[in-house]
Structure 1
Amino acid sequence: MRNFLLIAIFLFASGLLLPANEIHAQSNDQNIRVSEIRVLGNKRVSSGTVLSYLPVNIGDVVTQSSLNVALERLFDTGLFKDISIDNEAGVITIDIQENPIINRINIEGNDAISDERLLEAIDVQPRRVFTQKLALEATRTLLDLYQAGGRFGASVEPKIIELDENRVDLVFEVNEGPLIKISSISFSGNQRYSDRVLRSAISSREQRWWAFLSSADKYDEGRLDYDVRLLRQFYLARGYADISVTRVRGGLLPDRSGFAVSFILNEGTQYTVRDITLTSEIENVDIPDLISLFDFSDDNRYDVRRLEQGLVDITNRLGEFGYAFVDVRPEITTIPEDSVLDIHVTVGKARKNFVERIDIIDNTRTLDDVIRREMELVEGDAFNTLKLERSERNIRNLGYFAKVDVRNIQGSSEDQTISQIIVEEQSTGEFSVGVGYSTLDKTSLNLGIAERNFLGSGRSVRASIGLSDSKTDFVIGVTEPYFLGRNLTGSASLFNEKTKSSSVTTKRTGVNFGVGFSAANDIYHQVNYRLDQSETTDSSTTATSVTGENGKNILTSSVSYTLGKDTRDNRFDPSEGYLMEISETLAGFGGDAKYSRTVGRAAYYQPYLFNAVILGVRGRIGHVAGLGENVTQSQRFSLGGRLVRGFTGSGIGPRDTGSKAAVGGNNMYAGSVEIVSDLGLSKDIGLRWTAYTDFGSVWGTDYPAGVTKPNDQAMRASLGVGVLWDTVLGPMSFYWADPISKQSHDETKRFQLSIGTRF
């Protein structure tokens, strides 16, 4: 009975409440048909634009909920500062207040970062609708930019200046604050390597007063994350396969003078490689040969760089047999208690591939044929990684492209490969002014204009003039890299030069024509014809030797042939590869001079410690002999200066007894053994050091009268050190050399300085 009364009371109460709720809902969400829509307050935004954002049209039945949705949509446009919507018996009135338009954006108080860079970062243009959100986002962007540059105390305050016609000027007042740099870098947990060694392994640096051109001491979260990877790589390269590195977020010192950066390390065990095994899903693969591609040096210490190089070598070796897509996976098993690890390499399934197509991508100016003729693969050839790498190097050596990438993708079937040659073109036209100074040539000035890729055809045209204390020359020429539609390089040039020594001045004018071609395996051939007229004047009143050409106009017609092989990775600053070249010149095809000149040169470069140390060995030898007549002075060899440092430009060999000027010799040899490295130096300032020994000799003259020791073949040698510095002004070199073997009549120069720039 009691339960029955409770249920009755509950039902009675529910009946009283239910009608009340329905009436409230109806009063607040009545269905009304729209008879008219009015837009008020708009000046810049048309009524049609406002209506286009409404989900309501005349004749629609609307509720308060749908009007709320309309209000939300209008606010989302960012066009309006305030909006109200009223519904009076089906007449909807929309009263709006428009956001202002930006008239001008100014940045004030900035000095370290230019207006242009700051405005580009916020990307806010005049005539854009202004909102508070836009100003706040721009402020945050400016602060992030300053903090990325090490100015963590910077502040930015946006100011709004209201103008007539609902316009505003947006002004950002900047207080850049001091440049806060890294004051200390510390490490914890490192037992094997000192803090000093680890600091040299990362890219960030502590603040140093003398490194004012470097940015490595700025606090940069991105760079510090990169430093973590560098530390891991440092330890992995030295056998610590279990290395763990974490970074404590840099803390700003209490006086805000700098940041303290700390790295926490767990070095783990140093491992040696116990065993290397390999399994291949490709049949008929020489597994011992692939394993032999791994080289962990004599102590067999684990080095992740040598592991990665071995994997690359396996991929390339299989690529030489036509396998374009090979999955090579290493698996490392460590045994900490024995400090050894095992490496197992799995070579996945692959099929021999053929080149289905070669695509040249992003060459907007250079013709496809100019690039394709450098390829050692054509469509239909068996895929070959080695030939593809050589093709990439050939294209890069053209000098037309800032970047050359090769990407291989699967073709229309599993055994077909599409090779994509992706290039990034760079400017090949050049107007140059060169200013230089060296202790050998003194001040020099060079002016030139050149186009290395004329109309995208690969042709080169050039004109230049050079002025220095010892030489003046003018050259104009053209080079056709695909002469007569064949793999021939044709060239022609016109030249005029004047060379002065201490007692002799030689003027020479002529033309030069050449044809060359490259063969397989980096072998090149060059044939040249040269016709020139020279006049030599002896300006010394104390000279006792005979030049054989004083006051004469000598016409020389000569043909030369050059054969060489060049595998160097860079012709100007090589770090790997070798050069072998021999050149033979015969003069006497008409003209006055008749002689034979032979010059051979060779060079070898080998990197060690993963390109940290470069060993270079180079040398040259030369001989000139008259054909039925004596060899005159301008046809002889001179030696010293850059070839044998520690001596003046022509400081070695026979000299005039009276004027003490070098007269040169019919025979010459020179050589050098050099080490170049940046070990122990900061990579931030672009410094490298070198240690070297140079040697050589020049001797023999057909006019021995009045010459000091004309046939002295004694070898001269020097020992030296130097500093190479890549600066914003151009390369600088400083060499100190001490001649350890010389003759009394030789001229020495223990210090050589060279500075050059182009702008």
Structure 2
Amino acid sequence: MAMVISGRKSSQNVKKQNRVSSAAKVVAVTIALAAGLGGIAMPQTAYAQSYSFSSVTIEGNDRIEGETILSYAGIARGQSISAGELNDSYQRILGSGLFESVDLIPQGSRLVIKVVEYPTVNQISFEGNRRLKDEDLSGIVQTQIRRVFNPRVAEEDAQRISEGYSQQGRLAARVQPKIIKRRDNRVDVVFEIFEGGVTEIERIGFAGNGKYSDGRLRRVLATKQAGLFRAIVSKDSFIEDRIEFDKQLLSDFYQSRGYVDFRITGVNAELAQERDGYFVTFNIEEGQQFTVGEVLVSSDLPDVDPDLFQSKLKLRSGVVYSAARIESEIVRLERLAIREGLNFVRVDPRIERNDRDLTLDVEFQLTRGERIFVERIDIEGNTTTLDRVVREQFRVAEGDPFNPRAIRESAERIRALGYFSSADVEAREGSTPQQVIVEVDVEERPTGSIGFGGSYSTDSGIGANISFNERNFLGRGQQLDLSFNTSFESNQYVFNFADPAFLGRNMTAGFASSYVEDEDDDSDFSTTTGTFRPYLDFPISDNGRLQVRYTYKYTDFGVPDEPDDPADETVSGIIRHEAGLGPRHESSLGFTYNFDSRRTGLNPNAGVLLEFSQDYSGLGGDTTFAKSRVRAIAQTKIFNEELTLRASFHGGAIAYDRGQSRETDRFSTGPSIMRGFESGGIGPREINSGNGIDDSLGGNYFAVARLEADFSLGLPEEYGLTGGVFYDVGSVWGVNDGYDDFVGTGGKIVSEDFELRHVIGVTVYWNSALGPLRMDFTEALQKNKYDKPLNFNISVSKQF
């Protein structure tokens, strides 16, 4: 009797057919055995049928070698096999994925294997895709041209494409693989794609929050609600991985504010019935806010003086507890230990909780760590960036004691460079257990840009600008900026260069140079200014930096010839006098000290910026002067961070020993410093009603104080609109002695004395697709008769 085992794979449902085929084979074998044994009288013993083949014939294979098929079958010549083993051979051949159907036909001592091969893939195409390009989809699918077509793989490819669209928030996307048969057993594979719309997040809510409003917490998240501007908002789609990132952001937000028990109990994401929107709710438990209690340093090491380390602590009782504060103190103590020659000293913080007064006592225990050294640092993945640029971010070198915290900080510095799309830093055991190898694996990304633009204004007419920026010049980590801006009234050329790791240290060395040709809007005079400024900038404390510089400056005025009739004069007498002094060369040394409490980021609700700069001229050149500027800003958030209060002061003074200040040297405020007035709209000016001259002269002194409050407008956060109110008071005053002698016929100097201007206004902030914009609507409460008010101004918003 002959038993035939056969089957065919269906391209529509491979797994289901396999199960059915297997079951059919079992039934067929059972029926065959029953038929073969039907003529034997009971109760004789029944023996399972077995086969032994002296030859095997393979039919239907064109591309697949017979030996390959026999290797899958696993049947040796003359070997006795059972019906079950024959079925296993069939399953192995069919499971190879090379054949659409397989038949095993025993014919006495000969076995015939009939196969129908799957076709080869002639071409792969995608239809209906607009959001994902063909080259992107080609990198996703596993089906390949000139390979055997496998329906199971094609179905998996369709699922992979769907997942790619899901990552873009298009959960309704559908993908259907189709085949088009060609000659010579070839097929074209077509993936028909229906992309569907973006599954947007219609609403983000919170349950369990009492300290902070939903609006404040929504501003913490990377995910945003969809809204009026959803066409230009890129973060309003539902992506599961982003929700996980948002959970971490929420935890960091609360824990940095002393809520050590904060936890997220769950996130509910409900899909709308139309599958076009999600409603996401974060279920949270805030807990209580803790402050720092007692702060101590202890050690059981004989060579460690705890009092020395205690005196260096900056953490104080009563401040809000934050893990960032603790981390900062650990770093400070470890650095002190290294300076004292104490290697392998580990700082372990021990926290004791006091629920009665909601404080956390902190004990920094200095213990002896393991004696492990850095064997070497391996860097991979950088094709453009030099190894030394990455190595400069490490504060340790080969042979130094291994400090895991220092390695983590180095990894953060590498990522902060902005040169790499990813940067992984790991430590593994080296050649001995006492050594580690630090491995750095980076993936580079573009760091340069070229910009072309145009502009038009009623004041300056048509303008054009070209710029080139490279943040990693020649892979050396250096910054290079080139720009050219031109209009009917101004031409500006800028060339800047900076090396932020000069001599392999945390020091920036560079130079800034510019050449500007500018014509006054209201007069016929022009100025030409050229500047070259090399500098060094370096830290002198955790929050303080110092810049020292040399400045060479060239200035010149261009004025038309003096007319015969004074009534035809278009340039003020003082400007004409300053132009008559000829070109001026200035050579000066200067410094800027900057203290910014935000550098350590220990208090997320408040910050202070103090900046003082001075320049001294007299090292050659035509003048001797001292020029000083000061800037101070303080900011805090109140009412659970719903209201931001900010106070700032800007001031400056210039005094000459040799020579006199000119219009290009004196201070002139604009809307960025004193709101409510045009650039040069307040301060000394020369006016002459006879010929219409009204030229700003600038002042030798200026002082401006600004008070402002920013708050939510109650609009949905996805609109990106917030508001503010402000009050500015300031003045620009002081011109050179004897300038009354140079005033033109019929003219006079006005506003040269100290006179305060008072301005109030409201601000609308818009986080637009073009960038953060600021719109100021102002009203001058007190102004001078000759000032130039500006009731509305729009500018790029700058965050403190």
TM score, norm. by length of structure 1: 0.76
Distance 2:348 2:527 in 1: 64
Is 1:361 aligned with 2:395? no
In structure 2, the partner of 1:7 is none
Residues 438 and 160 of structure 1: is their aligned pair in 2 closer, same or farther, counting only changes over 3 Å? Answer: same
Of 144, 169, 172, the match for 2:188: 169
Alpha-carbon distance change, 739 to 699 in structure 1, aligned in 2, over 3 angstroms: farther
2:349–2:362 CA contact under 8 A, matched in 1: no
- 1:556-614 deviations in Å (ceiling 9; x for gaps): 3322212223455999x999564534232426835xx4342413233456565799858
- Equivalent residue letter for 1:711: E
Deviation of 1:80 (Å): 0.9
Q: Is the 8 A contact 1:100 1:130 kept in 2?
A: yes
Alignment counterpart, residue 589 of structure 1, candidates 620, 624, 635: 620
In 2, are the aligned partners of 1:480 and 1:491 still within 8 Å (CA)? no
The equivalent residue for 2:532 is 512
- Bigger drift between 407-416 and 725-734 goes to 407-416
The residue that corresponds to 2:518 in the other structure is 498
- Check conservation: 2:549, 2:591, Cα contact below 8 A: no
CA shift, 1:654, in A, is 0.9
8 Å contact kept, 2:559–2:576? no
Instruction: Give unmatched runs, 5+ long, in structure 1.
Output: 1-15, 301-305
Contact 2:226 2:233 (C-alpha < 8 Å) held by counterparts = no
Q: Which residue of 1 aligns with 2:341?
A: none
The superposition leaves residues 321-347 of structure 1 with CA deviations (integer Å, 9 ceiling, x where unpaired) of 35676554657686xxx7968778785
| Residues 1:623 and 2:654 are matched in the alignment | yes
Question: 1:665 maps to what in 2?
Answer: 699
Q: Percent identity?
A: 27
- Cα distance, 1:76 vs structure 2: 2.4
**Structure 1 counterpart of 2:45, which letter?**
A
Q: Indicate the SS of the match to 2:525.
A: strand
User: Which of 710, 727, 736 does residue 701 from structure 1 map onto?
Assistant: 736
Instruction: Name the counterpart of 2:33.
Output: none
Distance 1:158 1:89, change over 3 A: same
Supply the AA of the counterpart residue of 1:639.
Answer: T
Question: CA shift at 1:648, angstroms?
Answer: 0.5
Residue from 547, 553, 557 that aligns with 1:535: 557
Equivalent position to 2:90, from 51, 59, 71: 71
**1:84 paired residue number:** 103
Cα distance in 1 for residues equivalent to 2:630 and 2:557: 29
> Whole-Å Cα distance in 2 between the matches of residues 386 and 698 of structure 1?
53
5 Å matches for 1:127-276?
A: 127-146=146-165, 151=170, 153-177=172-196, 179=198, 181-182=200-201, 208-214=227-233, 218-222=237-241, 241=261, 245-248=265-268, 250=270, 252-253=272-273, 258-259=277-278, 270=288
- Count the aligned residue pairs: 719
> Alignment partner of 1:660: what SS?
strand
Q: For residues 440-479 of structure 1, what are the alpha-carbon distances to aligned partners after superposition, in whole Å with 9 as ceiling and x for unaligned?
A: 9787542123445443345555532112465311244656
Amino acid at match of 1:361: I
Q: Partner of 1:546: helix, strand, or coil?
A: helix
1:30-41 aligned within 5 A:
30=51, 32=52, 35-41=54-60
Aligned to 1:598: 627
Aligned to 2:324: 309
Are residues 135 and 192 of structure 1, via their aligned partners in 2, closer, same or farther at CA, if it must alter by over 3 Å?
Answer: same
Which residue identity is paired with 2:623?
K
Cα pair distance change 1:395/1:116, threshold 3 Å:
closer
2:611 aligned with 1:580, yes or no? yes
**C-alpha distance in structure 1 between counterparts of 2:632 and 2:375, whole Å:** 38
Partner in structure 1 of residue 564 of structure 2: none
Q: Comparing 665-674 with 411-420, which one deviates more in the overlay? A: 411-420
Per the alignment, do residues 17 and 585 of structure 1 end up closer, same or farther by CA in structure 2, a change over 3 Å counting?
farther
Task: Output the TM-score relative to the length of structure 2.
Answer: 0.73
Question: What is the rounded CA distance, in whole Å, between the counterparts of 2:618 and 2:672 in structure 1?
Answer: 27
Distance 2:202 2:501 in 1: 58
The 3 A distance-change label for structure 1 pair 488 and 136 is: closer
Mapped contact 2:685–2:752 kept (Cα < 8 A)? no
C-alpha contact (below 8 Å) 2:595/2:611 kept by paired residues: no
Is contact 2:610-2:633 (8 Å) kept? yes
How far did 1:502 drift?
1.6
Match of residue 27 from structure 2: none
Where 1:601 maps in the other structure, the secondary structure is strand
Q: Which runs of 5+ in 2 are unaligned?
A: 1-40, 339-343, 562-567
Deviation track 1:687-723 (CA, whole Å, cap 9, x = no partner) reads 5655544434232134233443363122334344434
Q: What residue identity is the alignment partner of 2:156?
A: E
State whether residues 143 and 149 of structure 2, in contact with CA within 8 Å, keep that contact through their aligned partners in structure 1: no
Match of 1:557 in 2: 585
1:11 paired residue number: none
Deviations 1:92-113 (A, max 9, x none): 4322111122333344445565
Q: 1:698 to 1:474 in 2, by over 3 A?
A: same
TM-superposition CA deviations, 1:369-388 (whole Å, max 9, x none): 44556766555667899998
Deviation at 1:164?
Answer: 2.2
Indicate the RMSD between aligned Cα atoms, in angstroms: 5.0
Q: Contact 1:325 / 1:350 at 8 angstroms: preserved in 2? A: yes
Change (3 A) 1:165 1:466: same
Matched letter for residue 596 of structure 1: F
Moved more, 442-451 or 726-735: 442-451
Shift of 1:646: 1.3
Classify 1:397/1:109 alpha carbon distance in 2 versus 1 (closer, same or farther; 3 Å): closer
